[in-house]
Structure 1
Amino acid sequence: MRAVPGNLEVVSDVRAPALLPGEVCRPVLDIEGNGDLARVCDDAEHLLLKVGAAIYQRGGVLVRIVREAADQPGLKRDVSAPRIVPFDDLSLCDVITRHIEVRKRNRKTQDLVCVDCPRVVAQTILARKEWRFRYLEALVEHPVVLEDGRVLWESGYHAESGILLDIEPFTFQSPYDDPDKDYAQEHLARLCELLGGFAFVDKLDLSVALAFLLTPFVRPLLQTAPAFAFDAHAAGSGKSTLVRTGAVMSTGREPAFLTYGDDPVELEKLLFAALLAGDQQIAMDNVIGSVRGAVLAVILTSAIYRGRVLGQSATATVPTKAVISMNGNNLQIVGDLTRRTLVCRIDPECERPAEREFAFDPVEEVRSMRSEYVLHALTIMQAYIASGDCVQLRPFGSFEAWSRLVREPLVWLGLPDPVDSIRVLEAADPEREQLRAMLTSVESVFERREFKATEAIHASQARRQAELGGGPVPSDDQREALAEALQAVCERNGELNSKALGRWLLGMQGRIEGGMRFVRIREARGGAMWRIERKV
């Protein structure tokens, strides 16, 4: 196992003319006249490739790297963060003119004269959607551990993976060749010392925090990775500090902070904007209330995500190569996100946690000793891969590759399985609590008998039940438990709504909780027939 700087392409800067060795001028592109557009565009693309212009294709659009980050409402970045930006026709004209001497034949004199790149040339190249430019999967500012244990650690474009490493010379130490388990234990101890000031509830939370520190160094290669949630009971407990520590360790700067709100459309726009820009760390800071959302769930379990480019009519399909985290006080992770999120709990057990004193600031520690801490993370994963061991753990659906490279090394070194933290989220998931209460209360009344949504509501209402004079007759305790469960899922304007209950049952059908599930049996007059089924 070894570091692999040798197969990286050096990429030119798009802001300055790029000359080939021995050339004293830019390559020439001649435009003869009307009817020559297709040939001109072909030649322009060929010459841009020849001079090594930093143009990439990503998700069906051509993109470039800019060095000044731009904030937008709800998304705040470090001003020095590199950003992936789609080309428009004017910016592509600028790059072509910088790298290529464009000449156009004068109709009167028939001489070839230097001109700026015609806008129609750039527009045509952008509209083609079929290019020979390099694919860009991810832009990173740190080394990357490959699946075979080799490490990319010098700046350049790695053609095999599509990763562009943007690393200043001499930033990082050369990784070890074939580190063993003893080496890994030593480097793990250093990372544990870094996190020593955080009041984790137990060792499982430390394991989740360590997984958060390791994940960025393999995330560019992974199709998917779980999210990380940092939860505490009070402000000042260190949640944001832990997120910032991980971001500064991997990128050298603060994460892209995203404002989480209740509007799913706005959340989708912000997440897509961050993914399109290639943000490596996306942090939802100081979340209030519950975290839910189909878009976030899809992003966490999909290799790509499609959305509309802000300010343009174009759409793009971008890789989801980001480490996504969230933090808040008494976080509630709801629904499908519970199986996609690892939670780290912090509890200082004091009245004013923000007033505590610490031996050192972990953010400044990793900022000043970044190379050493990155080496600690790399060594842990390298050593596990080199060992050839295979830790047997329960499956973690959608995140198998992440488990192999991050989860297994931590368990191999004696830490709790970070995926066990999902059980904490599941136990506190309000959707699961509602489903559990509904299954229990409905079963107590109907047992294995079929029922309609209206019949379940009637069974919870003593007066209505007496009027109907049929169906199961629940006890007062059963009726109260059923009414309470129904109020949580289908109360509208102070009354239980059968249509809302029907929609809720459709959304929950087949989902097992406590060994039971709702099963839709058949359609009948007045609504679907349902039954509770027990699963062993």
Structure 2
Amino acid sequence: MVAALKERGLYKTPLGSGKHDITCPWVEEHTDALDTGAAYFEPDDLYPLGGFCCQHSHGERYHIRDLLAQLEIPNIEARHKPLIRVIPGDLHRVVDAAEKELAARGRHFQSGGLIVSISSDPTTGDPSIVPTSAQALARELSVAALWEKYDRRSDAWVRCDPPQRHVSILYDAQDFRHLPPLAGVIRQPYFRECDGKLITEAGYDKTSQRFGVFDPRQFVIPEPTNEEVVAAMALLEDLLEEFHFVSDTDRAAALSAIFTAVVRPSLSYAPGFHVKAPVYGSGKTYLCELIGAFAGPGRNTKVSYPTTSEEATKVMLFLLLSGPAVIEFDDMANDWIPHGIIKRVLTAEHITDRILGASKIATVSTRTLFLGSGNNVGPVSDLLRRIVTIHLDPRCSTPATLNYKSSPVDKVRQNRGRYVAAVLTLILAWRKAGSPRAGVENIVTFGGSWSDYCRHPLIWLGQPDPATALLEQVKHDPDAELLGSLMVEWQRAFGSYSITVRRAIEAAETNSSLRDAMCEFPIVERGEINHSKLGWLLKKNMDRIINGMKFQKDQAEGRNAWRVVVADSPPLPPLPPLSRSITKSVTGNNKIIGGEV
């Protein structure tokens, strides 16, 4: 259209947003033949042929089709869309062309073997990843291009819809040549993994393969001077002022949860956080809402904790498909049952499984913050090393009747950019100071990026180690204590001899201490110790060292047998070089940081 208008001397200038100032082809009909008031509009989804408007008296008579006829431009060319012709024998080329045109629109991506798009909640503005259905894909392909097939009766190419066969082949594909990969959505400025650069621009970043949906103007991150660090820390501590933390380490753990919420998309792995209290109305759910407000503009995705492993797998995959910022298990009535999928989402970067109600396999990112809360419940077994517990205790019988002066959740939601910027400022200050790492015990799974973003900066700022509860849980694992007691009684009863499970159960009938140690585990059925369950328990914990002892598998009487042996300790690794010390002084709630920042 623009080329044809220029060729006839009718084109004047572009006006932006797809609008062009032109000379009306019927200018001689204007009053005094004034060459004003005519415009051409480029095609879009609502106006596939484009638009023509003339503000003179004949404007109601002439429309886009009249302009096309005047310029001798066929409708198919006016649409300014690519043309895909369905030719028998060229199926692969047709499907490839369809994917290419779909990618050219810039609205679709590939993620975990699926074609997806990004949608934002109209109320909160929170973005989510939306898998594209086969029906939606057919519609999008019809918008992306014009489709034609050859009609033998008319001996001509005629318009058609995208063929279902071609749509299905593209939908079922696992690998895509043209659709850009999408690793996740971002709701605020973030640290890019490969180079640690703070990305403050929204949109698609080819390096990280992430799409930022946020207004950069809301996140003003100052130079991390000493004054800005003190102000940022005071801003965050003020939010936690009225929560009834049991200890300073619990307050530090809450700050670490806030840091994790801000930088979770930059972390391959991160622990979950559980808020525990002895009575209802203690502020557990409210603290989870405060933490979640730092993760994104939307509300936490609240669900009940799954009771079975099968339910857990279905629920987790379904929830993670949309890439939520936070998944919260609110008001839990029972402990964190160590379902396999729950353990994986906390220590694996992706999980793969079949989509419920569909015949497709999907791989989803686990870069979501997991929160939980409940009265006197918490992580158990393998989850003790994956969940940080934050303890609250208002120390009164009816905490729900207590009065509070401020509403920290509302503060953050009304000015989220300022509070997120405060967290990023503190991390940047720690980096500027040389990234000093405190001489604290390492946590294997979370000893990398999570510690660098959410643990060491807080210790550098004068806070207690926020991972204290996690370390205590690992060291004082109730299951390990029970297993250690069984080892002690087993060694007292059998010494260093190898004993079959059957012989051990027979000996327990006359050895009450050994029997009591066995019965602490769920291996009793109808008052009798189940042989298979005891054997499975020993096999599961084989070679696990507790208090310098371990169960070792052997042979006796032609069967598998077990004995308790003293475990040899591995040689200690060399000590790391000492990091530069950071001088700190604390006055009330204000922490003044010595040295250069």
TM range (shorter): 0.7 to 0.9
Q: Bigger CA drift: 312-321 or 325-334?
A: 325-334
Residue in structure 2 matched with residue 252 of structure 1 by the alignment: 297
The answer to whether the 8 A contact 1:233-1:329 is kept is: yes
1:310–1:260 Cα change, 3 Å: same
Residue in structure 1 matched with residue 203 of structure 2 by the alignment: 156
Residue in structure 2 matched with residue 62 of structure 1 by the alignment: 115
1:137–1:523 Cα change, 3 Å: farther
Q: In the alignment, does 2:145 pair up with 1:113?
A: no
CA shift for structure 1 position 387: 2.2
Residue in structure 1 matched with residue 60 of structure 2 by the alignment: none
1:181–1:342 Cα change, 3 Å: farther
Matching residue within 448, 451, 454 for 1:403: 451
* TM-score normalised by the chain length of structure 2: 0.77
CA shift for structure 1 position 250: 2.1
Q: Distance in 2 between matches of 1:79 and 1:176?
A: 26
Q: Distance in 2 between matches of 1:279 and 1:155?
A: 18
The answer to whether the 8 A contact 2:184-2:211 is kept is: yes
The code of the aligned residue for 1:506 comes to K
1:101–1:389 Cα change, 3 Å: same
* TM-score normalised by the chain length of structure 1: 0.85
SS at match of 1:332: coil
How does 1:162-311 map onto structure 2 within 5 Å? 162-168=209-215, 170=217, 172-177=218-223, 179-291=224-336, 292-311=338-357
CA shift for structure 1 position 480: 3.2
Q: Distance in 2 between matches of 1:220 and 1:18?
A: 39
CA shift for structure 1 position 18: 12
Map Cα deviations across residues 223-246 of structure 1 (whole Å, 9 max, x no partner): 211111111111111111111112
Map Cα deviations across residues 362-409 of structure 1 (whole Å, 9 max, x no partner): 211211121211111111112112222331433221221211222111
Q: Bigger CA drift: 296-305 or 144-153?
A: 144-153
The code of the aligned residue for 1:379 comes to T
CA shift for structure 1 position 504: 0.7
CA shift for structure 1 position 361: 1.8
The answer to whether the 8 A contact 2:128-2:324 is kept is: yes
Q: Distance in 1 between matches of 2:220 and 2:537?
A: 56
CA shift for structure 1 position 26: 4.0
Q: Distance in 2 between matches of 1:240 and 1:32?
A: 56
Map Cα deviations across residues 62-120 of structure 1 (whole Å, 9 max, x no partner): 11223469xxxxxxxx9864332322321111111222232333332244333332222
CA shift for structure 1 position 255: 0.9
Residue in structure 2 matched with residue 511 of structure 1 by the alignment: 544
Residue in structure 2 matched with residue 472 of structure 1 by the alignment: none
CA shift for structure 1 position 153: 3.0
Q: In the alignment, does 2:396 pair up with 1:350?
A: yes
1:348–1:91 Cα change, 3 Å: same
The code of the aligned residue for 1:302 comes to A
SS at match of 1:418: coil
Q: Distance in 1 between matches of 2:257 and 2:433?
A: 22
The code of the aligned residue for 1:157 comes to Y
Residue in structure 2 matched with residue 483 of structure 1 by the alignment: 515
SS at match of 2:512: helix
Q: Distance in 1 between matches of 2:196 and 2:228?
A: 15
Q: Distance in 2 between matches of 1:200 and 1:441?
A: 39
Residue in structure 2 matched with residue 425 of structure 1 by the alignment: 473
Q: In the alignment, does 2:385 pair up with 1:339?
A: yes
Q: Bigger CA drift: 252-261 or 104-113?
A: 104-113
The code of the aligned residue for 1:360 comes to S
How does 1:67-146 map onto structure 2 within 5 Å? 67=120, 81-131=126-176, 132-146=178-192
The answer to whether the 8 A contact 2:496-2:563 is kept is: no
The answer to whether the 8 A contact 2:221-2:422 is kept is: no
Matching residue within 95, 98, 103 for 1:41: 95
The answer to whether the 8 A contact 1:141-1:165 is kept is: yes
The answer to whether the 8 A contact 2:333-2:374 is kept is: yes
Map Cα deviations across residues 27-69 of structure 1 (whole Å, 9 max, x no partner): 22231432232222222222223332x1111111211223469
The answer to whether the 8 A contact 2:347-2:445 is kept is: yes
Higher relative contact order (CA 8 A, sep 6+): 1
The answer to whether the 8 A contact 1:149-1:386 is kept is: no
Residue in structure 1 matched with residue 373 of structure 2 by the alignment: 327
Residue in structure 1 matched with residue 7 of structure 2 by the alignment: none
1:18–1:217 Cα change, 3 Å: farther
Q: Distance in 2 between matches of 1:142 and 1:215?
A: 13
The answer to whether the 8 A contact 1:185-1:413 is kept is: no
Map Cα deviations across residues 394-440 of structure 1 (whole Å, 9 max, x no partner): 32212212112221111111112222211343466442232132123
Q: Distance in 1 between matches of 2:554 and 2:82?
A: 73
1:386–1:103 Cα change, 3 Å: farther
Map Cα deviations across residues 200-257 of structure 1 (whole Å, 9 max, x no partner): 1111111111111111332222221111111111111111111111212221221111
SS at match of 2:244: coil
The code of the aligned residue for 2:85 comes to I
Map Cα deviations across residues 130-166 of structure 1 (whole Å, 9 max, x no partner): 2121111111222213355532233211111111111
Residue in structure 2 matched with residue 476 of structure 1 by the alignment: none
CA shift for structure 1 position 524: 4.0
Q: Distance in 2 between matches of 1:535 and 1:236?
A: 49
Q: Distance in 2 between matches of 1:17 and 1:92?
A: 19
SS at match of 1:46: helix
1:128–1:500 Cα change, 3 Å: closer
The answer to whether the 8 A contact 1:521-1:531 is kept is: no
CA RMSD between the two structures: 2.5
1:289–1:30 Cα change, 3 Å: closer
Q: Distance in 2 between matches of 1:244 and 1:16?
A: 40
Q: Distance in 2 between matches of 1:157 and 1:242?
A: 32
SS at match of 2:222: coil
Q: Distance in 2 between matches of 1:159 and 1:262?
A: 40
SS at match of 1:250: coil
1:254–1:128 Cα change, 3 Å: closer
SS at match of 2:467: helix
SS at match of 1:112: strand
The answer to whether the 8 A contact 1:17-1:26 is kept is: no
The answer to whether the 8 A contact 2:220-2:418 is kept is: no
Aligned length: 492
Matching residue within 428, 433, 443 for 2:491: 443
How does 1:449-488 map onto structure 2 within 5 Å? 449-462=497-510, 479-488=511-520
